[in-house]
């Protein structure tokens, strides 16, 4: 989650007073690093994945599964164990990696005090054989994490805890709700990481907003769900905090599951991938080209059908996080006329990207949002500092936000050898892509982070999606693909991705032709000013109507291609090659050994089957698991018993995977419909 | 006798011809589609240049146009709408380049040391075995010139008549043992070893060798292949004897999806003929009597791929193909 500096965090009114200073210094730091790093060249392709876990306490004998709030103790145990020796819980295969001198995984705190994040000990390269190390490394991380927990604690990769915020006890230890920081009627303050940064973040978002955050998710209407549905867990009679009025003022509408704290969003686990580009130009290109893939990958990795003990009518976490950290004031939201605030802001600071940043000639003006909100003064400072218009616009957009957590100690003097103020704004803009300048010491390259994917239940799946994204970036750069569609269509797709079973039931805007026009070979006497450039300059910007460049496609078409997706009715007449065939074409053109190709093929097969509907998404599997439980009453309620069964099944799956025993037979061992999710993979 | 050098140019960012089609697994579609689209593109580009002779780059094309290559003499376009061959092809050092190549565009973006360059040479059944040494040199020279490098990382040699179908693992390995021609393969290899000794090729490899053929081959060579490319539909079913042998001998088994006899006479005639999909270079009396006359024999095909090593980006990929025209 970025910065964890210690110090005196300012409460909101005081932090607000310093916002301008933080932005001004942040921009100076940005220009400093930009000037230092804009000429960086030929950085290798390195990449990293981040896996986030929920930590639960579970044992078959106990009636309930609970969230463990021992994050700090677990991290301390991990930190004190200098060689992170996996104490026998790992299968020999993992022990082997362990001894092979591979740097040990790194564990990080997260917002939720029940969460843990783990990253590989060093970034991955692009040797194809190395891609096969990702999955064992993820398993090793889980193993080491488990080894530093109590016997009844388990790291699991569900995006959300099914009964977070439900009435009664759901944490270990338990704390009363309605604390001073979150003022939530559903979760205690202790749900957040106690590091001062996190409660301050939550409290200041609430203060800036002028009320609690409102996270409302449509409830899934099952056969016996009362309708209209009124969230039975909402307490209208609390009078502890002024914010308790929120629900009396309509914060909890009918047919929505109502939540009121940052933990409901930032307590979600996801799978993020960061890529290092060879230089700033390639970084900007990757940022733009991966952007339209965000909603597609979100829908394809959907894994979030439960909130606060109820089945939701959506499949993914994204908008809930967005609402859970939405710090916009009523003026910024457009609910009141602008008086004190500077502008209306259409999106939360956690939202899909709002602009493109590449210098690519194929980036047409029509793709931009004409109403993008930017801070003109900041843009001017960046332009004056030598930055080009597009990149200046991007940062001037991020910098419309206030810093939320400001440490008094950092305001003494501007330190240009740091990037703390820049990062303060940058890393609290949680967009679905993040463009990351090198750190202040310029020791690593320009990076792009791909953030929309949901965490999957098994490391096999997480490795598959991570590796798929890595291969996609290589395909984009090799074939010089063009995924551009208007950025507002990407927004629309992001909404579409939320629908229940969007992966099969919905269509997404996607570009029809990914290939550029062929560059003419001899115009202007070969026109190459750079002697070693084998790539002729890109073709001039095309001028046909933008609307003709894209159409609605199913995820099956996008991932597998129209020829595969429409095998039954072969008359679509609008061929799209599909991302997996593109990846295969790439793999056909490089040297890959048979074993590696086979493993990569398995990952591609998983994704192919998820996209075609042959296998279910985790969201569908979880939903159907709940609905298939004896204790389920058809009323959308995920009771304690069902929650325990679900988590128990997930733990069982994880143990199987850890032991390297394969998933065969899980269906009949209480993990209902496992085959619908996983097919025969890793059995 | 006329030698024809066909080329695709860089196909990697050139669009759909590189995309594997469903059912197109193990086919020569990439070669034929990219040749076809390069011919078409060259015809368009050079014809346009010829229309605009003030364009500096068009001088050569325009000159050719006004020369004596324009056999039907009716202006810029022939009756079929194609520009005359002299506009978009070039006679150079005893060969006809189809299309003409602007060597000033040759080269890679970064220093050669940054790349893994893999070259795969397909010897064809329609070419004399005795000429393989010469063909290997010719093909490699063209690749070195196109990429503007002094050496390549890996040269894989594909012999005619071999295939490795891995559906049924043991069966495939057994069948493979009877394929190809061990004598000819062994006789060809010294020429490949020479390229290696000259430093033009850092590693050498072969394709489609099953365990029995490979074992026999290894006994007869001085410089051993480091790579054996195999083509398997389901790569989890590599025949165990082959896996074992490769492991013992330190030979890496790589995957490929090329077909062995990648360019047949018929395909070549179609590519260059007067049909709708053809380039209109060959005379076909019933359609157009102008153009090259005689029997056309494919000699070799070479595929080259330049990958930026630590970034996994394919920067350049293409093919050259050579054919001999025996005039009637």
Considering chain B, what is the average pLDDT of its residues? 86
Q: Tell me whether residues A590 and B9 touch, CB distance under 8 A.
A: no
pLDDT of res. B188 = 97
Fill in the DSSP letter of residue A512.
S
The pTM of the full predicted model, rounded to 2 decimals, is 0.94
Nearest to A432 by CA among A550, A514, A348: A348
* Crossing angle for the helix pair A459-479 and A579-588, to the nearest 10 degrees: 70
Instruction: Name chain B contacts of A601, Cβ cutoff 8 Å.
Output: 235
| Residue A159 tokens, joined | 């995006």
DSSP string, A541-552: PP-S-GGGGEEE
B113 at interface of A, judged by CB pairs closer than 8 A: no
E strand spans, A199-243: 215-218
Q: Which residues of B touch A534 (CB under 8 A)?
A: 10, 105-109, 315-316
DSSP 8-state assignment for residue A62: S
What digits encode the pLDDT tens for the residues A573-602? 688 999 999 999 999 999 999 999 999 999
For B241-276, the pLDDT digits (tens) are 999 999 999 999 999 989 888 999 999 999 999 988
- Domain CATH number, residue A154: 3.30.590
Taking only the tens place, the pLDDT of each residue in A111-134 is: 999 999 999 999 999 999 999 999
Nearest chain B Cα to A584, which residue?
A: B20
Q: Which chain A residues contact residue B106 at CB under 8 A?
A: 534
Min mean pLDDT across A71-85, A494-508, B132-146, B174-188 is at A71-85
Closest Cβ opposite residue B105 in set A479, A534, A584: A534
Say which range, A436-440, A508-512, B120-124, B160-164, has the weakest mean pLDDT. B160-164
Contact B89, B97 (CB under 8 A): yes
Q: Is B63 on the interface with A (CB under 8 A)?
A: no
Q: What is the pLDDT of residues A516-553, one digit of tens each?
A: 876 666 543 333 333 333 444 445 555 789 999 999 99
pLDDT band for position B173 (cuts 50, 70, 90): confident
Residue A509 covered by a domain = no
Residue A348 is part of which domain span? Answer: 14-162+267-469
pLDDT at B64 over 70: no
pLDDT for the residue numbered B167: 60
Tell me the residues of chain A between 28 and 47 that have a Cβ less than 8 Å away from chain B. 42, 44-45
Which one of A45, A532, A601 has the shortest CB-CB distance to B235?
A: A601
Which chain B positions have a beta carbon within 8 Å of A531's beta carbon? 107
A594, A596, A599, A605, best to mutate vs chain B, most B CBs in 10 Å = A594
Q: DSSP assignment, residue A438?
A: P
A75 in a structural domain: yes
Residue A657 has pLDDT above 70, yes or no: yes
A-B contacts (CB, under 8 Å): 148
Over the stretch A226-248, which tens digit does the pLDDT of each residue have?
A: 999 999 999 999 999 999 999 99
| Predicted local distance difference test score (pLDDT) of residue B71 | 39
Please write the tens of the pLDDT for every residue from B217-244: 999 999 999 999 998 766 677 888 999 9
The answer to whether residue A648 sits within a structural domain is: no
Task: State which residue of chain B sits closest to A528, comparing Cα positions.
Answer: B105
Nearest residue on chain A to B15, judged by CA atoms? A515
| β-pair partners for A257 | A217
Helix (H) or strand (E) holding A536: none
Q: What's the ipTM? A: 0.92
Confidence check: pLDDT of B75 > 50: no
- Is some CB atom of chain B closer than 8 A to the CB atom of A526? yes
pLDDT at res. B20: 67
Q: What is the mean pLDDT of chain A?
A: 92
Inter-chain residue contact A522 with B45, CB threshold 8 Å = yes
Burial environment of residue B20 by CB neighbours within 10 A (0 to 12, 13 to 18, 19 or more): buried
Q: Which residues of A fall within a CB distance of 8 Å from B48? A: 520
Distance from CA of A585 to the nearest CA of B (A): 5
pLDDT higher than 80, residue A565: yes
Task: Tell me, yes or no, whether A6 lies in a domain.
Answer: no
CA dist., res. A460 & res. A271, Å (int)? 13
Q: What is the pLDDT of residue A539?
A: 52
Measure in Å the smallest separation between the Cα of B307 and chain A Cα atoms.
Answer: 8
Which residues in A210-314 belong to E strands, given as ranges? 215-218, 256-259, 271-276, 306-307, 310-311
Average pLDDT over residues A145-149: 94
CB-CB under 8 Å, B41 with A521 = yes
* Model pLDDT, residue A83: 66
User: Hey, of B7, B9, B13, B228, which one would you mutate to test binding to chain A, going by the most A CBs within 10 A of its CB?
Assistant: B13
Give me the phi and psi of A370, to 5 degrees please: -65, -20
In a domain, A594, yes or no: no
Write out the two tokens for A683: 């059995």
Judged by a CB distance cut-off of 8 A, whether residue A598 touches chain B is yes
Are B45 and A581 a contacting pair at CB < 8 A? no
Strands in A359-421 per DSSP E: none
Quick one: what percent of chain B has pLDDT higher than 90? 63
Q: B144 near B150, Cβ under 8 Å?
A: yes
For residue B67, pLDDT over 50 is answered with: no
Q: Which of B37, B104, B109 sits opposite A535 (nearest CB)?
A: B109
pLDDT digits (tens, 9 = 90+) for A452-471: 999 999 999 999 999 999 99
Distances (CA, A) of A470 to A454, B256, B307: 16, 21, 16
What does DSSP say about strands B313-326 and B295-308: parallel, antiparallel, or unpaired?
A: antiparallel
Q: Does A584 touch chain B (CB under 8 A)?
A: yes
A682 is a domain residue: no
For A378-422, what is each residue's pLDDT tens digit? Answer: 999 999 999 999 999 999 999 999 999 999 999 999 999 999 999
Task: Report CB contact under 8 Å: A45, B238.
Answer: no
> CB–CB of B12 and A479 under 8 A?
yes
Asked if B55 has any chain A CB less than 8 Å from its own CB, the reply is yes
What percentage of chain B reaches a pLDDT higher than 70? 84
What is the C-alpha separation between B210 and B173, in angstroms, rounded? 5
Which residues does chain B have within 8 Å of residue A581's beta carbon, measured at their own beta carbons? 19-22
Q: Quick one: what percent of chain A has pLDDT higher than 70? A: 92
| CB-based contacts of A127, cutoff 8 Å, min separation 6 | none
- Polymer length in residues for chain A: 683
B310–A contact, CB cutoff 8 A: yes
Tokens coding B242: 């082959």
Averaged pLDDT for residues B95-110: 94
Rounded (10°) angle between helices B211-219 and B240-249:
30
Q: What local confidence, expressed as pLDDT, does residue B77 receive?
A: 47
Asked if residue A315 belongs to a domain, the reply is: yes
CA gyration radius for chain A? 25
**Which chain B residues are closer than 8 Å to A594 by Cβ?**
230, 232, 235, 238, 253-255
User: Does the pLDDT at position B78 exceed 60?
Assistant: no
Question: Which CA distances in Å does A584 have to A132, A580, A588, B20, B317?
Answer: 17, 6, 6, 7, 15
Which among B45, B256, B316 is the nearest to A521, CB-wise?
Answer: B45
Asked if residue A506 is part of any domain, the answer here is no
Task: Supply the pLDDT for residue A670.
Answer: 85
| Residues 6 or more apart whose Cβ sits within 8 Å of residue B57 | A522, A523, A524, A525, A526, A527, B49
Question: How does DSSP classify residue B220?
Answer: T
Q: How far apart are CA A2 and CA B219, in angstroms?
A: 60
- Which of A92, A221, A337, A358 lies closest to A636, judged by CA? A221
**Are A45 and B313 within 8 A, CB to CB?**
yes
Tokens of A315: 């499949």
A351, with CB counted inside 10 A (0-12, 13-18, 19+), is: buried
Q: Do B235 and A598 count as a contact with CB atoms less than 8 A apart?
A: yes
Domain count for chain A = 1
Burial, A569: exposed, middle or buried (Cβ in 10 Å; 0-12, 13-18, 19+)? exposed
**A601 shares contact with chain B (CB less than 8 Å):** yes
Per-residue model confidence (pLDDT) at position B81: 72
Average pLDDT of span B79-106: 88
Distance separating alpha carbons of residues A166 and A310, to the nearest angstrom: 9
Q: What is the distance in angstroms between the Cα of B154 and the nearest Cα belonging to chain A? A: 10
Test B305 with A601 for CB contact under 8 angstroms: no
B172-185 as b/e: b if 16+ CB within 10 A: bbeebbebbeeebb
Tell me the pLDDT tens digit for each residue of A593-645: 999 999 999 999 999 999 999 999 999 999 999 999 999 999 999 999 999 99
Question: Are the beta carbons of B20 and A601 separated by less than 8 Å?
Answer: no
- Among B106, B105, B85, which residue's Cα sits nearest to residue B96? B85
| pLDDT score recorded for residue A510 | 98
Q: Which single residue is written with the structure tokens 């093929």?
A: A601
How far is it, in rounded angstroms, from Cα B324 to Cα B6? 11
> Which residues 159-218 in chain B show a CB within 8 A of chain A?
none
Cβ atoms of B223 and B204 within 8 Å: the answer is yes
pLDDT of residue A95: 56
* Whole-number Å distance between alpha carbons of B94 and B5: 10
Rounded mean pLDDT, B93-97:
92
Please tell me if residue B240 touches chain A, with a CB cutoff of 8 Å. Answer: no
């Amino acid at each position: 989650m970025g910065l964890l500096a210690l110090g005196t965090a300012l409460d909101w009114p005081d932090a607000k007073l310093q916002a301008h200073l933080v932005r001004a210094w942040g921009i100076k730091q940005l220009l400093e690093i930009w000037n230092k790093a804009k000429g960086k060249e030929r950085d290798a392709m390195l990449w990293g994945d981040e896996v986030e876990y929920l930590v639960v306490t579970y044992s078959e004998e106990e009636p309930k599964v609970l969230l463990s709030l021992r994050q700090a103790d677990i991290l301390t145990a991990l930190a004190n164990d200098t060689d992170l020796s996996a104490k026998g819980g790992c299968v020999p295969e993992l022990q082997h990696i362990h001894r092979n001198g591979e740097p040990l995984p790194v564990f990080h705190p997260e917002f939720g005090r029940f969460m843990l994040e783990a990253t590989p000990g060093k970034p991955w390269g692009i040797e194809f054989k190395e891609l096969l190390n990702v999955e064992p490394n993820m398993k090793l991380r889980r193993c080491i994490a488990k080894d530093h927990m109590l016997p009844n604690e388990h790291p699991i990769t569900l995006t959300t805890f099914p009964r977070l915020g439900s009435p009664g006890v759901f944490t270990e230890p338990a704390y009363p709700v309605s604390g001073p920081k979150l003022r939530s009627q559903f979760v205690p303050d202790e749900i957040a990481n106690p590091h001062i940064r996190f409660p301050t973040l939550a409290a200041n978002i609430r203060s800036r907003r002028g009320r609690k955050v409102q996270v409302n998710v449509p409830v899934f209407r099952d056969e016996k769900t009362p309708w209209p549905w009124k969230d039975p867990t909402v307490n209208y009679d609390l009078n502890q905090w002024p914010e308790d009025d929120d629900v009396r003022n309509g914060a909890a509408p009918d047919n929505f599951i109502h939540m009121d704290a940052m933990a409901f969003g930032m307590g979600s686990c996801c799978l993020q991938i960061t890529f290092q580009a060879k230089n700033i130009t390639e970084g900007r290109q990757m940022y733009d080209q991966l952007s339209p893939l965000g909603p597609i990958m979100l829908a394809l990795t959907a894994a979030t059908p439960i909130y606060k003990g109820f089945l939701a009518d959506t499949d993914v976490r994204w908008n809930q996080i967005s609402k859970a950290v939405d710090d916009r004031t009523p003026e910024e939201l457009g609910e009141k006329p602008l008086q004190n605030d500077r502008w209306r802001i259409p999106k939360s600071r956690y939202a899909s990207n709002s602009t493109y940043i590449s210098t690519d000639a194929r980036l047409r003006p029509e793709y931009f949002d004409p109403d993008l909100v930017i801070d003109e003064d900041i843009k001017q400072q960046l332009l004056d500092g030598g930055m080009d218009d597009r990149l200046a616009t991007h940062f001037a957009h991020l910098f419309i936000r206030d810093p939320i957590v400001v440490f008094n100690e950092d305001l003494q003097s501007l330190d240009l050898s740091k990037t703390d103020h820049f990062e303060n704004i940058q890393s609290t803009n949680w967009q679905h892509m993040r463009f990351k300048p090198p750190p202040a010491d310029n020791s690593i390259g320009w990076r792009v982070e791909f953030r929309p994917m949901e965490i999957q239940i098994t490391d096999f799946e997480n490795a598959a999606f991570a590796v798929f994204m890595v291969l996609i970036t290589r395909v984009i750069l090799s074939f010089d693909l063009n995924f551009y569609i208007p950025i507002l269509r990407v927004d629309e797709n992001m909404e579409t991705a939320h629908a229940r079973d969007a992966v099969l039931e919905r269509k997404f805007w996607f570009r029809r032709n990914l290939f550029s026009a062929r560059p003419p070979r001899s115009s202007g006497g070969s026109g190459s000013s750079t002697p070693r450039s084998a790539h002729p300059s890109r073709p001039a910007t095309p001028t046909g109507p933008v609307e003709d460049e894209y159409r609605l496609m199913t995820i099956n078409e996008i991932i597998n291609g129209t020829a595969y997706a429409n095998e039954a009715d072969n008359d679509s007449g609008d061929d799209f090659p599909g991302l997996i065939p593109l990846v295969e074409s790439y793999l056909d053109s490089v040297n890959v050994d048979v074993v590696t190709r086979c493993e990569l093929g398995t990952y591609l097969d998983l994704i192919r089957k998820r996209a075609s509907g042959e296998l279910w998404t985790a969201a569908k599997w979880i939903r159907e698991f709940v609905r298939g439980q004896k204790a389920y009453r058809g009323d959308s309620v995920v009771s304690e018993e069902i929650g325990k069964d679900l988590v128990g099944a997930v733990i069982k799956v994880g143990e199987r995977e850890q032991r390297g025993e394969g998933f065969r037979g899980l269906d009949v061992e209480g993990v209902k419909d496992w085959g619908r999710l996983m097919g025969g993979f890793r059995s | 006798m006329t030698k024809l050098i066909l080329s695709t140019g860089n196909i990697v960012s050139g669009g759909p011809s590189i995309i594997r089609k469903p059912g197109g697994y193990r086919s020569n579609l990439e070669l034929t589609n990219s040749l076809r689209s390069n011919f078409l593109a060259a015809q368009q580009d050079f014809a346009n240049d010829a229309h605009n002779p003030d364009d500096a780059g068009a001088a050569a094309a325009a000159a050719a146009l006004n020369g004596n290559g324009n056999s039907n003499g009716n202006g810029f376009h022939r009756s079929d709408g194609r520009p005359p061959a002299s506009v978009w092809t070039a006679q150079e050092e005893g060969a006809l380049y189809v299309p003409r190549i602007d060597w000033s565009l040759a080269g890679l973006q970064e220093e050669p040391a940054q790349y893994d360059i893999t070259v795969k040479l397909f010897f064809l059944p329609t070419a004399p075995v005795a000429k393989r040494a010469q063909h290997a040199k010719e093909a490699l020279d063209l690749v070195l010139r196109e990429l503007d490098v002094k050496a390549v990382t890996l040269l894989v040699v594909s012999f005619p008549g071999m295939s490795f179908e891995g559906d049924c693992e043991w069966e495939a390995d057994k069948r493979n043992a009877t394929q190809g021609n061990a004598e000819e393969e062994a006789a060809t290899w010294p020429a490949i070893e020479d390229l290696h000794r000259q430093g033009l090729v850092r590693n050498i490899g072969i394709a489609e060798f099953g365990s029995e053929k490979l074992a026999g081959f290894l006994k007869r060579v001085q410089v051993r292949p480091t790579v054996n490319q195999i083509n398997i539909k389901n790569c989890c079913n590599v025949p165990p004897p082959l896996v074992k042998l490769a492991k013992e001998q330190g030979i890496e088994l790589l995957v490929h999806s090329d077909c062995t006899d990648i360019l047949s006479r018929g395909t070549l005639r179609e590519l260059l003929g007067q049909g709708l999909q053809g380039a209109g270079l060959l005379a076909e009396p019933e359609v157009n009597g102008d153009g090259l006359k005689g029997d056309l024999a494919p000699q070799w095909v070479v595929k080259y791929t330049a990958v930026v090593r630590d970034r996994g980006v394919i920067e350049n990929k293409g093919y050259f193909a050579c054919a001999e025209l025996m005039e009637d």
